[in-house]
A and B are shown apart, each in its own frame.
Chain A
């Protein structure tokens, strides 16, 4: 029976193909060495949300990233999502179109994995998400490019192998404060007469009844997780290489922030000790301290000098 269905659907697909183009994407997901467990869990979460992705073992090198292109070619992937961990705490996400497309390097912050968020939303493994973008993405060239990359990487193509035919979650990308905020929600449909059995969100936006739908349905969203924020840093023209065509000058590296913090602390100590020393010298000059705050000069007539 299944075979019959397959053949039937295959023929219909062939007919369609003549008229319509197909969107084919495969994503290679991998991380560098030195990721923490949270980074690893994020990777796992994304992998489970993206049936068109291929997970690879940790990539060994942090300098020869262009080798990723070959890796992607090996696995027939045309997208690469690479997580680079630095210092065991900072996570950078590289998104690239594998053979020669552009590469975006982003700093990943405010990371919360599904496991630690305890949201009650859930969705089918392998269902396709609706991708929701903020209109601000269309305003600038680099955000337009980033949007396209996000669409191709996180959007699950219809033809992916493990895909399920229903739509039960939505992925939201919002630009705010120069950063991209990512959220994943489950779509929860219920008939308006019935009261919802579960509602995890504290915000109860009353969903307006649908305009077009023949059968009226209440749509509610329940967050699934994970949550993270991306700050674009650099866009390169080719895949993991090539000239830099965009650089974010607003971005301050976490190293810089940490060192500033340290320095500000150190500055406090330095100024204090300096002040203490100055006051000591001043008091010495005023004759308030014995020997003027300096070391006592050796008495030329002392025993130790005379009989040295």
Chain B
């Protein structure tokens, strides 16, 4: 390869550009073909007056496939068995611009010349491309065909990146693909390892049986899952193959050696994981606290209410007792006695006593009224407690909603 090196150096010095040269050569070829072509076409037309498209189809079957594919993509029915119908659709497309047709013609010749070099692969690619592009406008495709003749243009792959309003005015072109399949295979054969002779443990490379399908590369989870599955299957196969060859696979537990990530790095990762876990835990705790707080407030309010109610009840009871006892010995009993004894005996003795000690009850009332201890004035007037007492109060009555007392005549009648 010393020769090529030398050559390369020479070329470098001369400033030779291989790409440009190649392109120029192709252009020249195309021009030559173009010069030849008109004669042939005329001859054909003279022969049988075949429509132009058919000539094209005859000469370049590839372009034929292209056109029909295009028609399919555009939703034109090709299912009709009559061939002419198909040609007609072609016509309708191509009549729009005769120049275009010429261009496609030239192009097809040119591409043919290319494919002579590169083989079948390119053809397949071409068809795939037209299929892919089928969804777009026809005009755009025609423009693509024109690409080689136009000077100022823009790369086809750049179109998507432009804004919509700009897209209309642009004449797209595709960068000239170089895919020299023959050279590629030659290069591959030159460097290829002799896999047939090598045992698996020498190269340890595996290819999946089926394509790894990734529907959407932007879908992170599914994409990574596909990678994971691919490698997992490879690992399983490799393990089997290596075991069969007797090569060691798994590391024994007592084999220690330097790792790719050192302890410091692993410590950092561990710390990071722990921090993450701690953060998660802390946030969960905080949320729990927040919820509890919200709930706790309600609980507290309920508790306070309950306590207040209890207090009120006991106070009520006490006051009742006080009132009951006030006649007998309000002053005599000290408080503790009052509480204990009164609470215990509050109901029964009084009830029982009422019947038996009728005179005593009367006496008490009289004492209340006419004085025998205690204050005499304002006995019937409201005090703070009685005025706050709303037991007898009814807002219904206040509003006059209560059943009105019937008139006197009616009452008499009822009797």
Contacts and interface: CB of A to CB of B under 8 A. Distances in A.
Interface in A93-150: 97, 99-102, 114-115, 118-120, 122-138, 140-142, 144-145, 147-149
Contacts of A71: none
B239 interface: yes
Contact of A166 (B175, B238, B255): B255
Contacts of B5: 66, 69, 238, 241
B76 interface: no
A140 B250 CA distance: 35
B204 to A, nearest CB: 5
B299 interface: no
Contacts of A128: 204
B232 A260 contact: no
A160 to B, nearest CB: 12
A152 to B, nearest CB: 7
Nearest to B206: A132
Interface stretch (A3-11, A54-62, A81-89, A207-215): A207-215
Interface stretch (B208-216, B282-290, B334-342): B208-216
Contacts of A171: 231
Contacts of B272: 118
B18 A244 contact: yes
Contact of A203 (B228, B249, B266): B228
A131 B259 contact: no
A125 B193 contact: no
A237 B183 contact: yes
Contact of B230 (A158, A172, A213): A172
Contacts of A166: 248-251, 255
Nearest to A170: B231
Contacts of A245: 178-180, 183-184, 187
B266 A122 contact: yes
A298 interface: no
Contacts of B207: 132-135, 137-138, 147
B19 interface: yes
Contacts of A167: 204, 238-239, 242, 248-250
Interface in B211-265: 211-212, 214, 217, 221, 223-236, 238-240, 242-244, 247-251, 255, 257-261, 265
Contact of A185 (B179, B225, B231, B244): B231
A235 interface: yes
Contact of A176 (B212, B239, B273): B212
A21 interface: yes
B246 to A, nearest CB: 12
A131 B227 contact: no
Contacts of A134: 207-208, 211-212, 230
B261 A102 contact: no
Contact of B161 (A129, A132, A251, A257): A257
A275 to B, nearest CB: 13
B223 A267 contact: no
B188 interface: yes
Interface in B163-209: 163, 166, 174-181, 183-185, 187-188, 190-194, 197-199, 201-209
A247 B230 contact: no
B34 to A, nearest CB: 24
Contacts of B177: 247, 249
A124 B260 contact: yes
A242 to B, nearest CB: 6
Interface string B1-16: 1001100100000000
A100 B236 contact: no
B191 A158 contact: no
Contact of B212 (A136, A144, A158, A202): A136
Interface in A221-243: 221, 224, 235, 237-238, 241-243
Interface string A153-196: 00101100000111110111011110001010101010000000
A211 B237 CA distance: 10
A246 B235 contact: no
B313 interface: no
A205 interface: yes
Contacts of A183: 224, 227, 231
B153 interface: no
A122 B190 contact: no
B264 to A, nearest CB: 11
B121 A125 contact: no
B385 interface: no
Contacts of B266: 120, 122
Nearest to A239: B1
B316 interface: no
Contacts of A132: 205-208, 230-231, 233-235
Nearest to B261: A122
Contact of B176 (A135, A152, A249, A260): A249
Nearest to A97: B191
B155 interface: yes
A177 B181 contact: no
B409 interface: no
Interface in B298-347: none
B251 A219 contact: no
A203 B221 contact: yes
B260 A260 contact: no
A203 B210 contact: no
A278 interface: no
A210 B239 contact: yes
A205 B228 contact: yes
A161 B366 CA distance: 123
Contact of A99 (B1, B161, B184): B1
Given A141-B181, A247-B175, A155 B260 contact: no
A219 B235 contact: yes
A90 B199 CA distance: 39
A295 interface: no
Given A172-B230, A244-B178, A247-B175, A256 B257 contact: no
Given A170-B238, A175-B212, A212-B244, 6 more contacts: A127-B251, A142-B184, A145-B184, A148-B188, A158-B202, A235-B184
20 contacts: A66-B5, A101-B191, A130-B206, A132-B205, A145-B188, A148-B192, A149-B191, A151-B203, A170-B231, A172-B234, A174-B214, A175-B212, A224-B260, A237-B183, A246-B180, A247-B175, A247-B176, A247-B178, A249-B156, A249-B157
